[in-house]
Structure 1
Amino acid sequence: MYANFKKKFKDNIIRGKMWKAARSTTVDDFQICMAEIKKLNEKAWEWLNEISPSQWSKSYFSVYPKCDMTLNNLCEIVNGDREVLEARSSPIYSLLEMLRIKIMNRRARRRA
């Protein structure tokens, strides 16, 4: 969705507002962000309104998933990582423990 939005709307301010709306955690915050987008660019607002907010805004996500990351590409953390490549020769428990620590640190950084 973002790639299509980025192609159509090149303004960095609009893109920033779209991300702010996507990351907003309450419906009220989302509505405020969408009003700001409408003031800046009505076409962008219309484009975003065509897509259900439950597909792209955190404020409309189900409360049942227990992961608060908008994007959960955990496999990207370890693909090609030098530490992981070096740890491949270690025992499986050590490798998994290293991966666990790496993922937990990344999640903690993203929440801050």
Structure 2
Amino acid sequence: MSQIPPPRRRRALGCGIAATAVALVGIVPTAIVFVLASAMDPNYGWLLFITLPIAVFFGSVALVLGVIGIAFALTDRGGYAWPIVGIALGAAQLIPAAALLTG
């Protein structure tokens, strides 16, 4: 009789998908404001003062979740794709804030 192999751990996949979802929650409002400001009326641009801090918060949370997902992927010898996507999207949200703060 042979033993059943233990189930594969999917912690990295879960953290990576969570990081991507959290990053998208931060990206979508900012993208909507950009579309509204460019297509409808330039007066919608003031909404960026509301959406940029939200994007920075969700981007940093996504970055942390992505790094945790990479750590889990290293220990589980699993897939790296979703955590890397979460890290990339989280870092992309932090770039406008860094540009705004550094001038």
Q: Given the two structures, how large is their TM-score scaled by the length of structure 1?
A: 0.28
Higher helix residue share: 2
